Amino acid sequence: MGATDLAGHAARQDTTAGGPPLFIVANAGSGQHDLRQTRETLSRVFGEAGREFHFVDTDGPGSVVTVAQAGARYAREAGGVVVSVGGDGTTNAVAQAAWDAGCTMAVLPQGTFNLFGREHGIAQDLETAARALLRARAEPVQVGEVNGRIFLVNASLGLYPQLLQDREAFKRRFGRHRWVAILSGLVTLFEWRRQLALEIELDGQSTLLTTPTLFVGNNRLQLERIGMESAVAERVGEGRLAALIAKPIGTGTMVWLMLKGAFGRLGEAEQVHSFAFRTLTVRVLGMRKLKVAADGEVGVMAPPLRFTVASRPLQLMLPREEDLVPVE
């Protein structure tokens, strides 16, 4: 079959096998993977299987959202699946587009952490995950939402978004290395002095508090790894999100808490309060706008912020039982 242009973004590969067509959004900026090699691998796997597939290409990180929206639109019109090939940020963009369009999505992890894919038993090896996708089934999965923005893994405000933003700035300057991420984190911790004055409303009751950061999780794997209390983490994914709020603390204590989280013992720290919830409304006193991170992508929102389990689930292609990969 010949190549066909899809809205100027992609080349089409047509086949005759059954199964919904796949519209692939591959982010060249995710992790350290070569886009050409990624395309070659997926073309071989899907071509050998006789599956219809389309590449909806990005021109760089800035175009991921636009191209994800195009891929989701094509998938909805064709009764197909929009496929995210990238890290958690790319997956978030595709999930938002798929959720808005009401179409099914799939994930082929290619980033650094890939927490969403790992939690759902999706292989981290591209070819293995692609072969599992050919046999996968669509299942509903819970997603979080903050002021209309979908998140799969976490959302946050205060110190954590600043850590993410500074880390990306350091990586652009010094390269994508682990030591660069550690250095940027230490610099941010020692420079951060701001405490947020919040009014949080939970179950009809309002509480005033001061904190350097508020973290909301929708990924049980991440929460378990940092050591959040099991009674809280185990409710995530069952109609609940989890919140983590740090008490007002100095730089030294914040570094100590970060180390606690790295070693999976954050739940032991008395300086941290955590709880599960369905809906949490947050008003930020004295601020009209602030930075909010969702799955590693930082944006600006106007309070009040309403964190909630999304009104409907995301339809996600999940591996069959024999293709599930144990959590590492």
Q: For Cα atoms 39, 59, 78, give the angle at the middle one, nearest 5 degrees.
A: 65
Check whether residue 76 and residue 112 sit in a common domain.
yes
pLDDT of residue 3: 29
Check whether residue 104 and residue 77 sit in a common domain.
yes
Q: What distance lies between CA 231 and its chain's CA centroid?
A: 23
How far, in Å, CA of 79 to CA of 26, rounded?
20
How many CB atoms are located within 10 Å of the residue 168 CB? 18
Check whether residue 46 and residue 82 sit in a common domain.
yes
Residues near 271 by beta carbon (within 8 Å), at least 6 away in sequence? 246, 247, 249, 253, 257
- Under-50 pLDDT residues of the chain: 1-5, 7-16, 31-32, 260-261, 263
Q: Which of 308, 311, 316, 322 is nearest to 120 (CA)?
A: 316
Check whether residue 197 and residue 275 sit in a common domain.
yes
pLDDT of residue 180: 52
Check whether residue 179 and residue 293 sit in a common domain.
yes
302 within some domain: yes
Q: What domain range includes position 261?
A: 150-309
User: In terms of C-beta density within 10 A (0-12 exposed, 13-18 middle, 19 or more buried), how is residue 123 classed?
Assistant: buried
pLDDT of residue 10: 43
Omega before 313 cis (within 30°)? no
Eight-class DSSP state of 326: -
CATH number of the domain residue 61 falls in: 3.40.50.10330
211 within some domain: yes
For the record, the structure tokens of 303 come out as 């309070």
208 within some domain: yes
HSE-CB of 208 using CA atoms within 13 angstroms = 2
Check whether residue 77 and residue 158 sit in a common domain.
no
Check whether residue 67 and residue 92 sit in a common domain.
yes
How far, in Å, CA of 17 to CA of 1, rounded?
13
131 within some domain: yes
Check whether residue 173 and residue 190 sit in a common domain.
yes
Check whether residue 56 and residue 175 sit in a common domain.
no
62 within some domain: yes
Q: Which of 95, 85, 90, 43 is nearest to 62 (CA)?
A: 90
Check whether residue 106 and residue 65 sit in a common domain.
yes
pLDDT of residue 226: 79
Q: What distance lies between CA 310 and its chain's CA centroid?
A: 15
Q: Specify the number of domains making up the chain.
A: 2
292 within some domain: yes
Residues 120, 326: contact at Cβ < 8 Å? no
**pTM of the predicted protein model:** 0.83
For the record, the structure tokens of 255 come out as 């570094």
328 within some domain: no
Q: Which of 116, 57, 105, 112 is nearest to 80 (CA)?
A: 105
Check whether residue 248 and residue 180 sit in a common domain.
yes
Q: Which of 49, 54, 44, 41 is nearest to 16 (CA)?
A: 49
Check whether residue 318 and residue 301 sit in a common domain.
no
pLDDT of residue 110: 84
Eight-class DSSP state of 278: S
110 within some domain: yes
CATH number of the domain residue 159 falls in: 2.60.200.40
